[in-house]
Structure 1
Amino acid sequence: MPTWLVYGFRWPRRAINIHVILHNLEDCAVGWLMAPDTSAELMDNFQTLYPDQIKSLPDLQFIEQYDPDDEATSEQPYAYVCEQIHEIRLGADVDDFKNRGIPSESWNALVGLRNELAPGEKIGWYIVVNGDVERWVPPVDDEEKEAEEMESNASSQPTVIEMENSRAKPEHVGDQEEVKKGGFKKWLGKVKKVRSFRDLKSDLAVRPSKASPLAAEDQPVPSPKRVAELQDDKSDIAKSTKHTSI
């Protein structure tokens, strides 16, 4: 469990959150400034915003206090912005570190940075204890993994419009030509059947049957002379038949 003697000031968590949002620091973990990506992005941001102060603070670091047994607290109320950091192994005389003093240039730069980040906070020596510097991160829940897999599968599935378009289009050009040919043949066969039926009806209308009135009207009428001859023949046949019977 590391224990440090640090010189600097406390940066309230609320002020950290406001700073990160205002400057759009996307890689910053507001609740843990000791994370490598967070520290790097904050230092780059400080060099842009406060170049004169950062130039005079070459050893500036961020330190967090943390108790792994405290499960009721998600994050500590503040982090430490430190100009000096000394790790205490077994014990140390605090006066020894205090008597070393702080260069005036570093002091002025630290005061200026404090006024920008945490106005009113005290600059001084602090003892900070951290029970887990690399803070264990819990694994992703199985439900979250399943949700991510479902999202990836859904993005890879074809849409309804794509499926409908694929069904509407024939797979091969040859199949499309066969469909056209088959449809034309069926249409041509229907036309032939209709014409054959119409031709048959017209033939029957032109050639009437013997029993029809039209056939009797169309037969030629015999002349009066021919009618008289037929009647004489009829009477002769009747006489001969009569004599034969007697």
Structure 2
Amino acid sequence: MTSIGTGYDLSASTYSPDGRIFQVEYAGKAVENSGTAIGLKVKDGVIFAVEKLVHSKLLVPHANRRIQTIDRHIGLATSGLLADGRHISNRARDEAANYRETYNSPPPLKAVADRLGLYVQAYTLYSSVRPFGISTILGAVDNSGPSLYVIEPSGVFFGYNGAAVGKGRQLAKTELEKLKLSELSIREAVYEAARIIYLVHDDAKEKDFELEISWIGSESNNLHAHVPDDLLKDAEAKAKAALETFE
């Protein structure tokens, strides 16, 4: 029995007879139409990589980044609607700052992900708001070591060793599963992340894109930072060479 087109998809607060909330499912479709974002948890840190599709040649390079710093040791990457991603990153900063102020210590990623998941889930409860059209990857190196979480538009979140969201997530997940993530160093993971993003972009190669990569770990003194330009260019060159070999 299908419920699409019978009025059950007009509000986020209405269930269909088979127990689905279509507005949340539609938010997931918005993520699937966006560039791919991946996260890797390796032995000495966390890597984020994003395929930022360039919609106009007039855009300034590196503007409207899809990787954000939440706290000094926490990074965030989103796939989906760009404005929703900015809103969620600002909310995540507020939650991290609130934890730091309340407990006078750096916020653990689990606490930030938990609070952010509750916030996202609240937007699936009321007919006056719409769910966020993004999936969010959160990563950090804290007292428990490297950690990585993904928050879905429904508000559910899970911990991952490697995660992918966006248009090319299935191929990216397949490639991530081939890696021995627990044995990779953070610098090696930069090359793997670049290779995977170039590989998944190959399906939409008529569109230009910008590769964004950031890391948290031993190479950055456990602080979230974008990778140095020379390393990024080297990783891109090797990713292009690997793609030609793959073809």
**TM-score for both structures, normalised by structure 2:** 0.26
Larger strand fraction of residues: 2
